[in-house]
Amino acid sequence: MKFSRRQFLQSSSYAALGLTLSNVPAVHGQSSGVRPAPMMPAPTFVDTNGISMAVYEKGSGPAIVFCHGFPELAFSWRHQLDAVAAAGFHGIAPDQRGYGLTGGPDDPMQYDMGIFCDDLVGMLDAKGIDRAVFCGHDWGGAVVWAMGRLHPDRCLGIIGLNTAAGRPTDLPPADDAVRNNIVMTPNYYVATFMPPGQAEAALEADVRKTFDFFLSRGGVDIWDAENFPNYPEDSPERQMNLLAMLERDDPPGEPFLPEEVMQYFTETYEATGFTGGLNWYRAIPRMGTVMANAASRIEVPCLYVGAEHDVILPPTSANGMEDFISDLEKYTVAGSGHWTQQEKPEEVNRVILDWLNRKIA
């Protein structure tokens, strides 16, 4: 079993399988003991696509919807929500399906790309918003690029943070495609996330240790593109075996976020567990049909923001996007690892606002 996370997150075969969720009970995260995020506006709850989605919003003007990745929350966008609101935009950040105050069904087959996009369309409908700019990081980046092809009529623009758009299957490989330095084996973390309960046992054994490991940067670790190739090919680092690294007494990486931030991530996942987010990976085998019939081109204005030291989603993963995106700009954040909007918030805000003011406002 060999595959890459980039293939999963960027695959142009992300699919919606047309599941009807009308009979799935909405899961209200507050019942699980999750408190609203600090440093954020009070959330509201929107019934959409069979779930009760927790939505943080601030400001007025053109809507900017921020979509988080794994293992994150709407809270990851706290810096950007304030910045776009101050600049005359309507910032919207949901806890997505399976996460935080939103929660979601237990069935992993109710977590696929079409469903994620339908969640957002339903949220827009509930708020009376016709079109929005969609800005996503990590898995959220995969969602926003899919929105551009599945629901182009609801998109004002798209911003992919770290995650590049998947290449349509009717195009040949990009001329300047670059091979990833990760050695793909069955130990790759996407594979180890698949068996029910396996990843939960490791991630939930000590949630604070898990976040100290995940939300890290710098040093000789997995978020340093220069040092990464120096690891042996059979090492957990080169194989991106996250669960094996986490089992160490002293996992690699250097936490960089304030204590209040780390505490909120920790207490939230202590309450919810990780199954909701892991279900995004477990539904990957379903993501193979709808994108084949989706639009091949993305015609709305687009921005890709890469991070110099993101080993899993390097800036070179965006090579060739110009072949199927009519209006694309690119920017690389120097010195940043994977958690770009939290590592370099001022720079990310500056780049996003400059683009929004030129392309959207």
Residues that are catalytic: 138, 281, 338
Give the orientation angle of helix 345-359 with respect to helix 78-86, to 10 degrees: 40
Cα radius of gyration (the chain): 19
Q: How many CB atoms lie within 10 A of CB 252?
A: 18
What is the CA angle 239-240-244, rounded to 5?
A: 95
Task: Give phi and psi for 306, each to the nearest 5.
Answer: -100, 170
Cis preceding linkage at 258, omega within 30: no
SS3 of residue 23 by DSSP: coil
Give the orientation angle of helix 113-127 with respect to helix 139-150, to 10 degrees: 70
**Burial class of residue 277, CB neighbours in 10 A (0-12, 13-18, 19+):** buried
Amino acid at 134: F
Cβ atoms of residues 112 and 135 within 8 Å: no
Question: In Å, what is the CA distance from 33 to each residue of 70, 116, 197?
Answer: 20, 24, 22
For 33, the token pair is 């003991």
Question: In Å, what is the CA distance from 334 to each residue of 153, 224, 337, 342?
Answer: 34, 11, 9, 14
d(CA 261, CA 201): 23
Cβ atoms of residues 110 and 305 within 8 Å: no
Torsion sign over Cα 269, 271, 272, 274: positive
Cβ atoms of residues 324 and 148 within 8 Å: no
